[in-house]
Structure 1
Amino acid sequence: MSNEPRERWGNRAGFLFAAIGSAVGLGNIWRFPYVAYDNGGGAFLLPYLVALLTAGLPLLIMEYVIGRRYRSSPPGAFRQLSRPAEAIGWWQVAICFVISAYYAVVLAWAVRYVGFSIDESWGDDPNAFFSEDFLKAGEPGTVSTFVPGVMWPLLGVWLVTLVILWLGVRRGIEWANRVFIPALLVLFCILVVRAVTLDGAGEGLDALFKPDWGALGEGSVWVAAYGQIFFSLSIGFGIMITYASYLGRKSDLSGSALVAGFANSSFEILAGIGVFSVLGFMAAQQGVGVSELATSGVGLAFVAFPAIISSMPGGAFFGVMFFLSLVIAGLTSLVSIVQVQVAAVEDRTGLSRRAAVALVGGVLTAVSVLAFANDGGLSLLDAADHFINQYGIVLAGLVSVVVVAWVLRRLPLLQRDANATSAVRMGRVWLVCLGIITPLVLGWMMVDSLRTELDENYGGYPGSFLGWAGWGVAAGALLVGVLAALIPWRHHGDIGGRAPEAEPVEDPEPVKEGN
């Protein structure tokens, strides 16, 4: 068993770079622009801001407090809140395992497309190139061959990720984010400047930002705003609890949450400007409306954008910059997702960091390659991503906030802990947001999603395939969480020897006096 002391961030800036790196990922680039466009355009920014202030930031601060106070990974932190709550932490670790296994695959695709952009290898039909020539996609649920063009860059992605984690919190994660986040910002600013100078960019921006105030009366628009905030801030599946566990006891939590939250939202708006500028250009080139080209996700990045790159002057340069931006944004997020698992293994087993990285990384790399670097990988990735997001992250977030706020009634304790060291104090509004607004919104998101799910099969996939690749994956993560929590901890007193500074659940006097 390792006796290494728990690591710390070098300073507040290091933590902020890491938190922003985790939040700014693929979803900022390929999800937010379309969600905003499809839900009222410029008017969407109002419910988006309300969602950020009433759910995103309050929940982010709650996770920061839990992580810093109990100085442990999610299972250890929730265990110290209440023994049965440990299952929530392991559930979050299992969700991270699933997400990281396929998230790395998307990065591998982006790595290949950096090279494809140079000579526009996708030719005249980017859609057929992506699904048939590159991924060799077959029928859902069937595997007949491995795809070397995915496997080798995937191994490279895992090598880089694990080296960063191997080096530790300060010399690895913090250093990498200090380099990658400024680099990402520079790359994307160059892209946006180029995009807004294209012919037709104004029409694209008008389509994105022209407000449809009538949309504010639709409940689905508000649900979409809360959903976007929830997914984009990396909350609900243990990342911010883990990152905050490496903070010092006097760290400003609310100020850090404000910086990370607004930095993430600013990047999303920047991404929207860039994406819709180039969509406006493409619409002008083809003589169609922007609405006919607007899309999100994999289709936007690997089908729509290659087509745009082929038709624009200097397209090769733009393509390299765009896909390189995807790689960097995704890599910082992938590191944070895997770190949750590494920290949990460290705390649970007492292994050294490097041993935990080797164990977690070895298993993840094997699962990632075997499950997704084949001709059935695209459909499996699509189904697993949808269900683990809707019935993993959202449900885990809902359960965690209900347990902390309603069952254990720990919000006042966490509030005092945050206020003792934070520049912006948490008042009654924070308690109302977490105790009422956030649970109700997340609960409605679950109901709304389930209703849609039961009306028709997601993506038109066969029910038998969705049974194991979708519902089975989401249910499996929950089952793993419960079973892992039933295994006795090696050392009950200090959670594997990793939380010597964790405070007792009862409110200590020094924190009271901090008010």
Structure 2
Amino acid sequence: METRSQWGTRAGFILAAAGSAIGLGNIWRFPATAFENGGGAFMVPYLIALLTAGIPILIMEFTMGHRYRGSAPLTYKRMNKKSEWIGWWGVLVAFVISTYYSVIIAWAIMYSIFSFNLNWGSDTEGFLFGSYLETAAPGEFGGFVPGVLIPLIIVWLLVLGILYRGVKKGIEMANRIFIPLLVLVFLVIVIRAITLPGAVEGLNAFFTPDFSALADGQVWVAAYGQIFFSLSIAFAIMITYSSYLPKKSDITNNAFIVGFGNSSFELLCGIGVFSVLGFMAVQQGVGVNEVVAGGVGLAFVVFPQIINELPALNELFGFLFFISLVLAGLSSLISIIETYVAGLSDKFNISRQKAVIFGGGFAALVSLVFATRGGLNFLDAADYFINQFGVAFVGLVEVVLIAWVLRKLGELKEHANEISDIRLGGWWTFSLGVITPIVLGYTMYDLFRTNLMRLFETETGNYANYPDAFILYGGWFVAGGALVVGIIMALFKWRNASAASENETQNTGEAK
């Protein structure tokens, strides 16, 4: 069997893992989520969620990848031959995400260019949905948008070029550039933001605690959800990355560094975002709560409005903000694509370069759907359903399988303790065996109940008031398709017979 690639240094792995975790959601999801769920008080359930779900799952996935030395499908197969489909399910979820995530990076590239002349004008919402994206009705394609298609091609050429070069010369080297540059750029943004008139009002709104919110179960669910989605866990990434670690690697320390590093950047994002939201609120003479937004609206509608109103250096501030989105997006996209590059290479015994061309090339073709005039609607539906019924559902199945069915927590804990400075104890097994399954189980129950109840209720009773048919094939079929195709992939015979047949005992010896 071909020698598995390895990270050049421990720092290279940590930067790559942190680069995967630190993505667009840190910048546009966390600040609004925290504000809407108790402000400063949200940090209490957030920290508890980090310590009882985020870092424990990170440790578990790091240990799985390191012990079984394979992509997610190969890792699950080596753990138990009947569980390979879960690895492919996670890989297919990653595949879907990569197809539209790349398009958002393309938007950010164009907006960084628009920043030079503030091309979005005064009506930033009208510019995004009309002049730029030329949004068509749900379910319609309407032809390509050149301003999306061209930067999208650039994104794919850049990312696939990096992946083609391999783990050490490609992924590690790219993250050594992207992550320090991202932190530096965002620090400049934050320093500028906190000096704006009204920044104090924004920060007060962000940090002022509403402790009554802690009695609301949905606030705790939101905290666990934020941690879960933010850390890139449960859809094959961290298993794949940790499989490239050297035999002697400190698993638990690495997990704590990545986990707290990601949360620190989220907090930095919250400070920057709410400083500029406070400025905007003061300029418009309204409360901060009236200008808070999240997601695409925050990044491509609200922020351009704020940039328009800055007293000086508008163009520079806008360029830095959108370049930070590009850097955060690229580091995450690289890790997402690596999951199916590694999976294809392991399963079909093909070179990394061929896996990049076939897997990445196919994803690039699929992403063209989101570069059309109807692409925004397809993106919105796919993102909602693949995240809610893909990532979270895979995580629930993963934890239940490992903790309850296969009962592997003891063996994984022993493996991690033998090579790590921070030893795992009852906290880790209780978190994964009890807390995480309960929280994720309740979250999935609530999501299924809510979405299934409104499916076909009325023509506009679905998510974002989309038509029933569009939600069915643009949302439910996408999420369900990831599972179905994952099962089908597991049915194919392994071309790499030595990898597939290698038993657990042999792997344990190799990993140690």
**1:287 CA drift (Å):** 0.3
2:342 is matched with 343
1:318 matched to 2:323: no
2:469 is matched with 464
Given the alignment, which residue of 277, 288, 291 partners 2:289? 291
Checking the alignment, whether the CA contact within 8 Å between 2:247 and 2:510 is kept in structure 1 is no
Letter in 1 for 2:467: P
1:356 matched to 2:355: yes
**1:145 CA drift (Å):** 1.5
**1:491 CA drift (Å):** 3.7
1:174 is matched with 172
Checking the alignment, whether the CA contact within 8 Å between 1:205 and 1:277 is kept in structure 2 is yes
- The alignment's C-alpha RMSD in Å is 1.5
SS at 1:426's partner residue? coil
What is the rounded CA distance, in whole Å, between the counterparts of 1:106 and 1:156 in structure 2? 13
Letter in 1 for 2:21: A
**1:114 CA drift (Å):** 0.3
Q: Which moved more, 1:313-322 or 1:446-455?
A: 446-455
After superposition, give the CA deviation of every residue in 1:447-498 in whole Å (9 maximum; x if it has no partner).
Answer: 12223323441011011100000000000000001111111212444239xx
Checking the alignment, whether the CA contact within 8 Å between 2:141 and 2:374 is kept in structure 1 is yes
1:192 is matched with 190
What is the rounded CA distance, in whole Å, between the counterparts of 1:91 and 1:403 in structure 2? 14
What is the rounded CA distance, in whole Å, between the counterparts of 1:22 and 1:36 in structure 2? 21
1:444 matched to 2:442: yes
**1:352 CA drift (Å):** 0.9
1:333 is matched with 332
After superposition, give the CA deviation of every residue in 1:91-117 in whole Å (9 maximum; x if it has no partner).
Answer: 011101100000000000000000111
1:8 matched to 2:42: no
Checking the alignment, whether the CA contact within 8 Å between 1:191 and 1:318 is kept in structure 2 is yes
SS at 1:348's partner residue? helix
TM-score under structure 1 normalisation?
0.96
What is the rounded CA distance, in whole Å, between the counterparts of 2:177 and 2:281 in structure 1? 36
Unaligned runs of 5+ in 1: none
Checking the alignment, whether the CA contact within 8 Å between 1:384 and 1:469 is kept in structure 2 is yes
TM-score under structure 2 normalisation?
0.96
After superposition, give the CA deviation of every residue in 1:408-457 in whole Å (9 maximum; x if it has no partner).
Answer: 01110000000000111110111110011111111111112223323441
1:504 matched to 2:470: no
2:16 is matched with 18
**1:381 CA drift (Å):** 0.1
Checking the alignment, whether the CA contact within 8 Å between 2:202 and 2:277 is kept in structure 1 is yes
Checking the alignment, whether the CA contact within 8 Å between 2:67 and 2:507 is kept in structure 1 is no
1:86 is matched with 84
Unaligned runs of 5+ in 2: 455-460
**Structure 1 residue ranges, 4+ long, deviating more than 6 angstroms after superposition:** 505-511
2:457 is matched with none
Letter in 2 for 1:457: N
Given the alignment, which residue of 484, 488, 493 partners 2:493? 488
**1:144 CA drift (Å):** 2.0
The verdict on how the C-alpha distance between 1:273 and 1:509 changes in structure 2, with shifts beyond 3 A counting, is: closer
Checking the alignment, whether the CA contact within 8 Å between 1:405 and 1:434 is kept in structure 2 is yes
SS at 2:139's partner residue? coil
1:135 is matched with 133
Q: Kindly report which structure 2 residues correspond to 1:1-400, keeping only aligned pairs within 5 A, or say none.
A: 4-313=2-311, 314-369=313-368, 371-400=369-398
SS at 1:69's partner residue? helix
What is the rounded CA distance, in whole Å, between the counterparts of 1:223 and 1:422 in structure 2? 31
Letter in 2 for 1:102: Y
The verdict on how the C-alpha distance between 1:412 and 1:147 changes in structure 2, with shifts beyond 3 A counting, is: same
What is the rounded CA distance, in whole Å, between the counterparts of 2:338 and 2:219 in structure 1? 33
The verdict on how the C-alpha distance between 1:344 and 1:414 changes in structure 2, with shifts beyond 3 A counting, is: same
